[in-house]
Structure formats: C-alpha cells, structure tokens
Amino acid sequence: MDTINRRQWLKNSLATSAGLSLLPLNVFSETDTAHTRKNQIDNNDSVRRLLYNENHLGPSKSVEDIIKQVTFRSNRYSTFYEYDANALKQLIAEQEGLKPENVLLGHGSFEPLIWTATHFGSKGEQIIVPSPTFDVIGLFARKIGANVVPVEVDSDFKMNLTEMESRINPKTSLLTLCNPNNPTGTAIETDTLKSFCRMVSDKTTILVDEAYIHFMNSWKEKSMAPLITEGKNILITRTFSKIYGLAGLRIGFMLGPESIIAEMEKKFTLGFPGNMPNSLSVASAIVSLKDDAFLETSRNNNTKIRKEFCNALDAMGLNYLGSEANFVYFDVKNFKPYKELMLKNNILLAGGWPTKPNWARVTMGSEEDISFLFDKMKGKKWL
Ligand SMILES: Cc1ncc(COP(=O)(O)O)c(C=O)c1O
C-alpha cells in the first residue's frame, strides 16, 4: 500500500470503528458517557479521534509486514516459534538490561495494572495514588475493598511527592505514580523522581506507569526501570498502545523484581504459555521494539505538532500545561459548550474532570486535525 492509500485506509477504518462501537474509556468521571458521545456522532463518517492518545501515524510499516507474515500461524497457540511471547520477553529484557524473569506481559498495560490492584489491594490494604491521573489501579482496588488514598497534585499540577510519602502507614502496600502523567502531560524531574523512588521503595512498593515515556527526549534516561537492577521495590508499566501505534492489538507489559513478577504470573496467568497475548500482537511488539526509526519519527512528529498546538493556544491567550506526552491539557473556560462545539464538528476529546472542570485534554492528531480544531474555536467569544 502506498502512503496515500494507507492513510486513506487508516482514515476510513478509524471512522468506521468510531461510528460503530466507540466506547470511550472513562476513568476520570461519569460525565462523558459512551452513550451521549455515540448519539452525537452517529451517522458521521469522519470522526477526529483526539480522545484516547493514540498515535495518528498508525502502526509502523514493519508491523503491517509482520502481520501479513504471521497471520497464517493463527491456528497455533503463540508458543515455540521465532515471534513467541518468550522471544518478546527476552527482547524487552535485553533492551532494559534486565532478565526475562523481570517481565510480565499483558493485554495492554491495563491488564497488568488491574492485576497489580488485585495483588496489592485484595486484603483491604492502603494504596496511595496521585490525583488526577489515569487511575485504573485506584478504580479497581476500590471495587475489591482496598483503602485508596488519592493525593491531589500541587498548585503547579506537579505530583505532591512529599504528601504522598507522608500518607504511608503500616497498611500501605503500594504507591502509584504516572510519568508523564495523564491527563496533565507533566513529568517529574528525573533526579527528584529517582531519589524519591530509591528512598520510598524501602517503605512500600512503588508502581510507575510509563505509558507516555517514549514521547520524552532521551526517554531511557528518564525511566525508573534501572532501579529494578538496583534491587529496588519498583514496578514499571509500559504499553505498545501509544507511541508504537498498537492500541487495537492490546499489548503491554510490567517490569519488576523477579519475586513479584513470578508471584503475579503464577497468580494471574497460572503460567500457562498458550494464554500469552496473541501471536499477532506479540510479533507486532517485537518488530516495533526493533524499529527505532518509527519511534523517532513519531516522537519528532508529536513534538512538532505539540509545539504548534501550544503556539496556537498562546495566540488565543488560553492557559495550558507544558506537556511531555502526546496530548495537551488546557483551559477552555467552559467545558460544556466547548465539548458540544467539538462534538458538532465530529471531534472527540476528553476533559471536564473534577480537579479542573473547565479544562480539556486533546490528543496530538495530524496537523490537519489540529488546524481543523483551531478553526472551529476561532471567533468564539467565550474562549
Ligand atoms: C497513563 C496510562 N496508562 C495506561 C493506559 C492503558 O493503556 P493500554 O491498556 O492500552 O496499554 C493508558 C491508556 O490511555 C494511560 O493513559
């Protein structure tokens, strides 16, 4: 497929899936239900998905190629061949300077996050989470009876690490962080985070969700994964859904100390090799990890579009947070009419969450998506 056809195909398939069964994940509040959105976008075939922080460039060409090659093996469980789950664990381990025993694969990173909530919260333990954040762990842990303690970000929207540490007590089993954070897009300064993790992981297990870390320059230096080799009590989650453009294939992983990974693997997968993530997603993840060029293109493209987006916000005099991810969180003054305006123009986005009820989060789509969005904002007096 040449680039133009591929883009058109991508656009068509996005539009179809959005029109048919878009179920927006609402981790933050009950306000934007799938139902209301779907009603408003029904019968439209060109929806701009600036909602889920997906990579608008699509998966890489190497993924398209490998899927063609491995589809014929779909009759087999994904074991004992070149692109099986063990090969993926091995590759992740090599790239992170860890062992395959430090890696737990899941269907998206969502699955390891839910497993973590279960593992650390099912006996009524205390789990400390930042707020706001993409709080799968807190949501799930509450359901199973854990005492979830949210700690609000400070006035600069930075995670309040001091306050989080001060809430640790003997019942605390886990403290979670997200870096860069969703929905703010802000990141914690690396040395600050490192020394926090080093010190505080002696008191409780720390999980750092690094779903968006690849969008940062020199991201490897900013990851907390090396602390695992130092023997620290740290868990890291990563996903192929964001910069790698594989959200629909549902694959992600957790890194952690061998003892925790072994316990969780035994508990949640029974160690059954055939139940690893499916062969297409595993093979796609393997080729993606080897495709540095795609990663770089995606990162550079995101940085450029994000800069243009922020320049446009500056020109309109709207407040926003400096983002290190593939979305920007900004003040639209009144979220309700803003969202209505966007939906009328088939733009899907998120926001209206309690901490900042009039702020919106927009995923960095294509340049065309972004200029379309600003075009619709132009001349609106309330903005
Ligand atoms: C911070 C963060 N972590 C984890 C996830 C889960 O993504 P996935 O299950 O696709 O890996 C998301 C999804 O948007 C996210 O924003």
The pLDDT of residue 21:
29
Decide: 209 and 183 in contact? Cβ < 8 Å: no
- Residue 378 predicted with pLDDT over 50: yes
CA–CA distance, 138 with 2 (Å, rounded to integer): 44
- Residue 382 predicted with pLDDT over 90: no
The pLDDT of residue 274:
75
Test site for ligand 1: of 115, 159, 239, 363, most ligand atoms within 8 A of the Cβ: 239
- Residue 354 predicted with pLDDT over 70: yes
Does 209 contact ligand 1 (Cβ within 6 A)?
yes
Does 28 contact ligand 1 (Cβ within 6 A)?
no
* Ligand 1 atom with minimal separation from the 107 CA: 9
The pLDDT of residue 342:
96
Does 53 contact ligand 1 (Cβ within 6 A)?
yes
What confidence category does residue 379 fall into, taking pLDDT thresholds of 50, 70 and 90?
Answer: confident
Q: Quote the ligand 1 centre to 244 CA distance (angstroms).
A: 13
CA–CA distance, 377 with 383 (Å, rounded to integer): 8
The one-letter code for the residue type at 40 is Q
- Residue 236 predicted with pLDDT over 60: yes
Q: Quote the ligand 1 centre to 314 CA distance (angstroms).
A: 29
**Between these two residues, 286 and 5, which has the higher pLDDT value?**
286
Q: Quote the ligand 1 centre to 281 CA distance (angstroms).
A: 16
Q: What is the dihedral of CA 45, 49, 52, 53, to 10 degrees?
A: 150
The pLDDT of residue 3:
40
CA–CA distance, 164 with 18 (Å, rounded to integer): 38
The pLDDT of residue 30:
35
Does 291 contact ligand 1 (Cβ within 6 A)?
no
Decide: 69 and 268 in contact? Cβ < 8 Å: no
* Ligand 1 atom with minimal separation from the 113 CA: 4
- Residue 163 predicted with pLDDT over 90: yes
* Ligand 1 atom with minimal separation from the 25 CA: 14
Decide: 345 and 376 in contact? Cβ < 8 Å: yes
State how far the alpha carbon of 183 is from the alpha carbons of 27, 246, 282, 356, 362, in Å: 11, 20, 28, 11, 9
Phi, psi of 24 (to 5 degrees): -60, 135
Mean pLDDT (whole number) for 243-272: 96
Question: Which residue in 203, 240, 209 sits closest to 223, CA to CA?
Answer: 209
The pLDDT of residue 254:
98
Q: Which of helix, strand or coil describes residue 130? A: strand
pLDDT in tens, 326-338: 999 999 999 999 9
The pLDDT of residue 240:
98
The pLDDT of residue 355:
87
Q: Quote the ligand 1 centre to 316 CA distance (angstroms).
A: 31
* Residue carrying the six token digits 């890291």: 236
What confidence category does residue 316 fall into, taking pLDDT thresholds of 50, 70 and 90?
Answer: very high
The pLDDT of residue 35:
35
**Between these two residues, 142 and 17, which has the higher pLDDT value?**
142
* Residue carrying the six token digits 């993530």: 277
Structure tokens at 165: 């540490």
* Ligand 1 atom with minimal separation from the 251 CA: 11
Residues 6+ apart with CB under 8 A from 116: 137, 174, 207, 235, 237, 254, 264
Q: What is the DSSP letter of 73?
A: G
Q: Which of helix, strand or coil describes residue 157? A: coil
Does 241 contact ligand 1 (Cβ within 6 A)?
yes
Indicate the helix (H) or strand (E) that contains 284.
helix 279-290
pLDDT in tens, 64-119: 999 999 999 899 888 888 899 999 999 999 999 999 999 999 999 999 999 999 99
The pLDDT of residue 53:
97
Mean pLDDT (whole number) for 166-185: 98
Structure tokens at 220: 């490897």
User: What b/e string do you get for 327-366 counting C-beta neighbours within 10 Å, with b at 16 or more?
Assistant: bbbbbbeebeebbebbbebbbbbbbbbeebeebbbbbbbb
pLDDT in tens, 18-29: 332 233 333 433
> Residues in the chain, how many?
383
- Residue 46 predicted with pLDDT over 90: no
State how far the alpha carbon of 312 is from the alpha carbons of 193, 323, 339, 378, in Å: 31, 15, 18, 11
Does 134 contact ligand 1 (Cβ within 6 A)?
yes
Atom 3, ligand 1: residue with shortest CA distance: 211
pLDDT in tens, 272-281: 877 789 999 9
What confidence category does residue 306 fall into, taking pLDDT thresholds of 50, 70 and 90?
Answer: very high
**Between these two residues, 205 and 41, which has the higher pLDDT value?**
205
Domains present along the chain, CATH in parentheses: 3-61+292-377 (3.90.1150.10), 75-290 (3.40.640.10)
Phi, psi of 186 (to 5 degrees): -80, 155
The pLDDT of residue 39:
44
Does 178 contact ligand 1 (Cβ within 6 A)?
yes
Q: Quote the ligand 1 centre to 9 CA distance (angstroms).
A: 25
What confidence category does residue 128 fall into, taking pLDDT thresholds of 50, 70 and 90?
Answer: very high
Give me the chain's average pLDDT, please.
89
Does 108 contact ligand 1 (Cβ within 6 A)?
yes
- Residue 175 predicted with pLDDT over 70: yes
Decide: 255 and 235 in contact? Cβ < 8 Å: yes
Does 182 contact ligand 1 (Cβ within 6 A)?
yes
